[in-house]
């Protein structure tokens, strides 16, 4: 079946690094823009990083620019979010999203979310 499965979250101290992974099964990521969203406690879901289907164009929310890197490996049907210099305000549940434009709108697949807690 169609699935996105996230892994890599956990408890990390400020200033440390963490890499999140998103594994797709049941479909190929080659045509999909990949996005990472996060939802922090008491806040709405926020788009933090995007990468186009070829991996040539990336975009980041200003608060993570220079610290986070989104990447993908279409041959492995995977996407990643490398998070460096983590801050307490990065604490959130992080969600992997695969999106493709279709006639009349978009098709989306979502991962289950992985929790990242940045705390000393």
pLDDT digits (tens, 9 = 90+) for 26-38: 999 999 999 999 9
pLDDT digits (tens, 9 = 90+) for 97-115: 999 998 889 999 999 999 9
pLDDT bin (cut points 50, 70, 90) of residue 87 is: very high
- 83-87 contacts, C-beta under 8 A, 24 or more apart: 83/17, 83/18, 83/19, 83/20, 83/116, 84/17, 85/15, 85/17, 86/12, 86/13, 86/14, 86/15, 86/16, 86/17, 86/18, 86/116, 86/118, 87/14, 87/118
pLDDT bin (cut points 50, 70, 90) of residue 39 is: very high
* Mean pLDDT rounded to a whole number for the chain: 97
pLDDT of 79: 98
């Amino acid at each position: 079946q169609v699935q996105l499965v996230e892994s890599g979250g956990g408890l990390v101290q400020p200033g440390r690094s963490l890499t999140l992974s998103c594994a797709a099964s049941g479909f190929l990521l080659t045509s999909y823009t990949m996005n990472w969203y996060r939802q922090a406690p008491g806040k709405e879901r926020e788009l933090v990083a995007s990468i186009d289907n070829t991996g040539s164009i990336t975009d980041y929310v200003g608060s993570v620019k220079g610290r986070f890197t989104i990447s993908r490996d279409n041959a492995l049907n995977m996407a990643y979010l490398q998070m460096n210099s983590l801050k307490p305000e990065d604490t959130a549940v992080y969600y992997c999203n695969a999106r493709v434009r279709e006639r009349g709108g978009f098709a989306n697949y979502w991962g289950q979310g992985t929790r990242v807690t940045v705390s000393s």
